[in-house]
């Protein structure tokens, strides 16, 4: 009987050891998965704070070393610590961010400077997200976005640590800035900005628009399967990327996105949602609304949305899904650069119909000097734009980024 008891005791010890080992391995694996070296974890009563401050300051140091080694002059520095709520989980994400306005030699190219930064920050676990034309307090510059990417419990996180604005005697232009010689029969008679909405839903149209070799503004909807791919391809092809922010339509049944800015939200909820959406799409320089016929007519909601945009130095383009929209008016009152859609190109998803709309837009541009139009990330729209480029340019229409037409 004693031997039986001894055997049971031995097996009990073995089982307990196996359970303890399994729990230890699981805990160790989960700890490594949830707390990678790029961030620190700070537990609070309101959930954990995922703190990237040390990681972003490491990237700051790499950027500073480039500036010092190359003798670039820093004209202005702005820095702050940001903290935004996490998506669908209690807690926040914190990091340190800077804006640097620097002067570079006249002979320096933006592309070479971008490559220098990319090499330096790589050793600090950072990366260069984009290099593109921009303005800084009304001055033409080239903006280089630098930061890091991470994943928290399957949540993709993109953090901009440094926005470097390059200025010199004459504005710099990245190699990829779509500076293509257009075929004009005479002088430029009008400028047309084409915004393409709904990037992120499908993959096939991304490459088609990126290959147009003309300025196209990519409006990327957040949290979709191909959102990051669309933003990356837009930037790498020399185009500009903006956030296509879901906002509440008049008809609830028409609402296409679960995470949508709604008039029933509190001020804090609206601003939190906008902050998270901004962080989800890397390299954006502005925002336009997805749907939003109800929300863009609500002054309180628009003030909340625009306050976040102003804090992040982003412009706003009103898609004009409602003639009663006060979005652009409110943006101007708040000192935010803004513009408005004047024509939807593809309410009918046919190449011939889109071409007809582009000809209407051409007439508007010639009559009023400029026009801003919106299409969608569809193959028929990409085909129509591609086939219409020679015709538009022969009539004196110059395609430009929407940022060039803002007021």
β-partners of residue 164 are 100, 144
Q: Which has the closest alpha carbon to 223: 202, 239, 201, 206?
A: 201
Would you state the pLDDT for residue 40? 83
Q: Which has the closest alpha carbon to 111: 125, 136, 128, 135?
A: 128
Mean pLDDT confidence for 244-251: 93
| Average pLDDT across the chain, whole number | 86
Q: How far apart are CA 348 and CA 321, in angstroms?
A: 16
Mean pLDDT confidence for 195-219: 94
- Contacts of the segment 134-142: beta carbons below 8 A, 24+ positions apart: 134/165, 134/285, 134/403, 135/403, 136/101, 136/165, 136/167, 139/167, 140/167, 140/171, 141/101, 141/165, 141/166, 141/167, 141/171, 141/172, 142/110, 142/166, 142/171, 142/172, 142/173, 142/174
Would you state the pLDDT for residue 176? 43
Q: Is the dihedral of CA 3, 9, 15, 17 positive or negative?
A: negative
Contact indicator for 96, 161 with CB cutoff of 8 Å? yes
Mean pLDDT confidence for 211-216: 94
Would you state the pLDDT for residue 32? 46
Domain with CATH 3.20.20.370 in the chain: 190-405
Mean pLDDT confidence for 253-267: 90
**CATH code for the part of the protein at 190-405:** 3.20.20.370
Would you state the pLDDT for residue 222? 93
Give CA separation, 330 vs 49, 288, 303, in Å. Answer: 34, 14, 7
**Tens digits of per-residue pLDDT, 333-351?**
999 999 999 999 999 999 9
Helices H / strands E in the chain, number of each? 10, 16
**Tens digits of per-residue pLDDT, 290-326?**
999 999 999 999 999 999 999 999 999 999 999 999 9
Give CA separation, 91 vs 57, 80, 222, 300, in Å. Answer: 22, 20, 20, 26
Q: Considering the chain, what percentage of its residues have pLDDT values greater than 70?
A: 85
Would you state the pLDDT for residue 268? 95
């Amino acid at each position: 009987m004693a031997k039986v008891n001894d055997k049971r005791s031995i097996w009990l010890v073995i089982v307990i050891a196996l359970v303890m080992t399994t729990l230890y391995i699981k805990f160790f694996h989960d700890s490594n998965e949830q707390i990678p070296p790029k961030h620190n974890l700070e537990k609070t009563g309101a959930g954990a704070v995922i703190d990237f401050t040390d990681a972003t300051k490491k990237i700051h140091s790499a950027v500073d070393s480039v500036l010092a080694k190359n003798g670039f002059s820093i004209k202005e520095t702005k820095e702050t610590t940001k903290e935004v709520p996490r998506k669908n989980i209690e807690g926040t994400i914190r990091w340190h961010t800077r804006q640097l306005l620097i002067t570079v030699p006249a002979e320096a190219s933006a592309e070479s400077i971008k490559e220098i930064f990319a090499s330096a920050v790589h050793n600090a676990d950072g990366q260069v997200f984009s290099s593109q034309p921009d303005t800084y307090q009304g001055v033409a510059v080239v903006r280089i976005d630098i930061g890091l990417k991470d994943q928290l419990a399957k949540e993709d996180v993109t953090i901009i640590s440094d926005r470097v604005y390059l200025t010199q005697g004459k504005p710099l232009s990245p190699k990829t800035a779509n500076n293509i010689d257009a075929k004009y029969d005479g002088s430029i008679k009008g400028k047309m900005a084409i915004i393409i909405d709904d990037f992120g839903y499908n993959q096939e149209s991304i490459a088609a628009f990126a290959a147009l070799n003309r300025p196209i503004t990519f409006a990327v909807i957040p949290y979709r399967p191909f959102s990051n791919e669309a933003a990356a391809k837009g930037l790498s092809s020399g185009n500009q990327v903006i956030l296509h922010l879901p906002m509440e339509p008049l008809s609830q049944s028409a609402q296409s996105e679960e995470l949508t800015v709604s008039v029933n939200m509190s001020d804090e909820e609206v601003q939190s949602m906008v902050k998270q959406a901004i962080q989800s799409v890397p390299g954006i320089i502005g925002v336009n609304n997805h749907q939003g016929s109800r929300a863009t007519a609500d002054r309180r909601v628009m003030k909340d949305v625009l306050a976040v945009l102003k804090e992040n130095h982003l412009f706003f383009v009103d898609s004009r899904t409602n003639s009663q929209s006060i979005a652009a008016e409110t943006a101007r009152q708040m000192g935010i650069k803004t513009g408005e859609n004047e024509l939807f190109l593809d309410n009918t998803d046919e190449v011939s119909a889109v071409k007809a709309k582009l000809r209407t837009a051409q007439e508007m541009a010639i009559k009023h000097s400029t026009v801003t139009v919106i299409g969608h990330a569809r193959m028929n729209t990409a085909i129509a734009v591609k086939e219409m480029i020679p015709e538009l340019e022969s009539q004196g229409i110059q395609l430009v980024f929407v940022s060039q037409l803002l007021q």
